[in-house]
Chain A
Amino acid sequence: MGNYFRNIWLGVWTVLVGMRITINHLVMRKVTNQYPDRYPDLKSLEEAKLVPTNSRNRLFVDKEDCNGCKGCERDCPVNCISVETTRVTPGDTVPLLRSGGKRNLWVTNFTIDMAKCCFCSLCTQACPTSAIVHTSEFEYSEYNRNDLVYQFSPFSPEEAQVKKDMFANYQAEQAAKKAAAAAVAPAPAATQENV
């Protein structure tokens, strides 16, 4: 019996608590942005707050910080990132990464298809150098779908080809050297090849 009245009391009380919450919200400041009328100017600090800080919008990759680990490419659930790398040729002048690390790979091609991106943010979490980030830029529709495929490689295709050739040459050189060494001592090299 006591439980019965307690239940009724709890029912009434919780309804009143709920009603207090909703009436408070009735008079609170509203969060809606009248977006196309009222345009958040992303440049101004005050306005940029209108876009939530943790919102996930257009992706950006810092070319000088991406070390080409392909972590983002592997983690993307919709396969919209494609990263192509080539090894840095020893002796080439290599700038350090912006975050201070050593660069072992050239990023010869880096595309993100923003038309496919589902804004899950998995790529940004996978990135060891925080090179790939979401910006607060949210208006980037295009008339042509291909325009949504963004390029983030530091090289133009020709420059990339130069880097690739450079490494291919280097590899060929190494191979030639190896072959010369193998001619001197053929037996171990042969076994190695068989393995």
Chain B
Amino acid sequence: METNFIYSLLGNNLLGYLAVCILPLVFLIVYALVAILGELKIGAFMQDRLGPMRTGPWGTIQPIAEVVKLLQKENITPDAASKFLFNLAPFIIFTAAFAAFAVIPFSPKFVPSGINLGLFYIFAIGSFAVIGIFMGGWASNNKYSLLGAVRSVAQIISYEIPAGMAILSIAALAGTLDMNEIITKQSGWFTNWYIFGGSGSALRILFLPFTFGIFVIYLIASLAETNRTPFDIPEGESEIVAGYHTEYSGMKFAMFFFAEYANMFVVSALLTIMFFGGWNSPFGDFMSGPIWAVVWFLGKSMSFIFLQIWLRWTLPRLRVDQLMYTGWKVLLPISFVCFFAIALLAMLK
């Protein structure tokens, strides 16, 4: 299956590869600007404020102003920091976040790289970011940075396991790790989405609590992996200044910032792909096709972005012990139960 319209357009040459690389990057930048504005505005609205109003009509150019501000800022490298690692860390984090875009199917006709291990790849790359975080925190030579980095490692390792169980469940249900194939298997009406147990006999209704449960578990775990509130203890402003990026400023800080937003999109896309039928239209053949697919995919992903922002402005930060309790004693056992139930469902099919 030709999964990339750019290759058919420009041919399998350097230009084609370049275009394939740049397209997600352009998307990422535009999306990040929208998401930053969304974060500011939604956060303000939820607190009965208006948010930024001065830059542009209704403050719509605010994110651009923020990026310009970050670009202008001085790039400080602390004297006592380990310079090489300190400067390397933001690049690693951003690369890890951006690398995940390689396998995200925006449409049946556009997957930057249609490898058949997409789900596994994204999971592997996702845990790569923690190396960057730890590198940045440790190399900063600052106690708060180190504390934040250590917390981040503990958090990501704890939450990787329930997230892994969720991904495993979907792999069992779909019988494949190829992103586009997982989505194709959920085609048809929205009842075929994996959150409703995928296509198959009506018996799958019985498994609804488990599929829904694993969805919630992945949602929570993904929040923890992207260091979003309520799991932002690695940054915990009120406790450890800014956690692992305390010492960063200017463009290097902006890269942490961008990486966070990129990660948010990756997990939202993953939720969409694994549970909500990816680029499939919810209504069978109605409004389906490669172009509509992009609309559906982005629409669904953006609703998850909204959900993340919504949660951020609703919940306070968890304490470290609560975080560990939730990860190991609640999510992990429940994810095992859900996994077994879903495996049973996969066998029954």
Q: Which residues of A come within 8 Å of B, CB atoms? A: 8, 11, 15, 18-19, 21-23, 25-32, 34
Q: Is the CB of B287 closer than 8 A to any CB of chain A?
A: no
Shortest Cβ distance from A16 into B: residue: B314
Distance, CA A154 to CA B313, complexed state (A): 54
A30 contact set on B, CB distance < 8 A: 45, 48-50
Q: Mark B27-63, 1 if CB is under 8 A from A, else 0.
A: 0000000000000001001111110010000000000
Contact residues of B between 46 and 101, Cβ < 8 Å to A:
46-50, 53
Q: Is the CB of B117 closer than 8 A to any CB of chain A?
A: no
Distance, CA A23 to CA B42, complexed state (A): 10
Cross-chain contact A34 with B45 (CB below 8 angstroms): no
Cross-chain contact B314 with A26 (CB below 8 angstroms): no
B49 contact set on A, CB distance < 8 A: 30-32
Contact residues of B between 297 and 327, Cβ < 8 Å to A:
310-311, 313-315, 326
Q: Is the CB of B157 closer than 8 A to any CB of chain A?
A: no
Cross-chain contact B315 with A34 (CB below 8 angstroms): no
- Enumerate 20 A-B pairs (CB-CB under 8 Å) in ascending A order: A8-B330, A11-B326, A15-B311, A18-B314, A19-B314, A22-B310, A22-B313, A22-B314, A23-B46, A25-B46, A25-B47, A25-B48, A26-B46, A27-B45, A28-B48, A30-B45, A30-B48, A32-B48, A32-B49, A34-B53
A22 contact set on B, CB distance < 8 A: 46, 310, 313-314
Known A25-B45, A30-B45; contact A15-B314, beta-carbon cutoff 8 A: yes
Distance, CA A29 to CA B50, complexed state (A): 10
Known: A19-B310, A25-B48, A26-B42. 8 other contacts (CB 8 A): A15-B311, A18-B314, A22-B313, A23-B46, A25-B45, A28-B48, A30-B50, A32-B48
B314 contact set on A, CB distance < 8 A: 15, 18-19, 21-22
B311 contact set on A, CB distance < 8 A: 15, 19
Distance, CA A22 to CA B48, complexed state (A): 10
Shortest Cβ distance from A28 into B: residue: B48
Known A8-B330, A19-B310, A34-B53; contact A26-B45, beta-carbon cutoff 8 A: yes
B313 contact set on A, CB distance < 8 A: 22
The total of chain B residues at the interface (CB under 8 A) is 15
Shortest Cβ distance from A17 into B: residue: B314
Shortest Cβ distance from A33 into B: residue: B50
Known A15-B314, A18-B314, A18-B315; contact A32-B50, beta-carbon cutoff 8 A: yes
Min C-beta distance of A7 to chain B, whole Å: 8
Cross-chain contact B315 with A15 (CB below 8 angstroms): yes
Cross-chain contact B50 with A34 (CB below 8 angstroms): yes
Min C-beta distance of B37 to chain A, whole Å: 15
A18 contact set on B, CB distance < 8 A: 314-315
Distance, CA A70 to CA B45, complexed state (A): 46
Distance, CA A8 to CA B330, complexed state (A): 8
Distance, CA A11 to CA B217, complexed state (A): 13
Distance, CA A18 to CA B311, complexed state (A): 9
Min C-beta distance of A2 to chain B, whole Å: 15
Distance, CA A30 to CA B310, complexed state (A): 17
Distance, CA A21 to CA B42, complexed state (A): 14
Distance, CA A3 to CA B109, complexed state (A): 50
A26 contact set on B, CB distance < 8 A: 42, 45-46
A11 contact set on B, CB distance < 8 A: 326
* The 4 A-B residue pairs with the shortest CB-CB distance in the complex, in nearest-first order: A32-B50, A22-B314, A18-B314, A22-B46
Most chain B Cβ neighbours within 10 Å, of A19, A22, A23: A22
Distance, CA A133 to CA B43, complexed state (A): 37
B42 contact set on A, CB distance < 8 A: 26
Min C-beta distance of B324 to chain A, whole Å: 15
Distance, CA A80 to CA B310, complexed state (A): 46
Distance, CA A11 to CA B326, complexed state (A): 10
A15 contact set on B, CB distance < 8 A: 311, 314-315
Distance, CA A34 to CA B48, complexed state (A): 13
Min C-beta distance of A1 to chain B, whole Å: 12
Shortest Cβ distance from A14 into B: residue: B315
Q: Mark B99-130, 1 if CB is under 8 A from A, else 0.
A: 00000000000000000000000000000000
Contact residues of B between 111 and 159, Cβ < 8 Å to A:
none
B330 contact set on A, CB distance < 8 A: 8
Shortest Cβ distance from B230 into A: residue: A15
Shortest Cβ distance from A24 into B: residue: B46
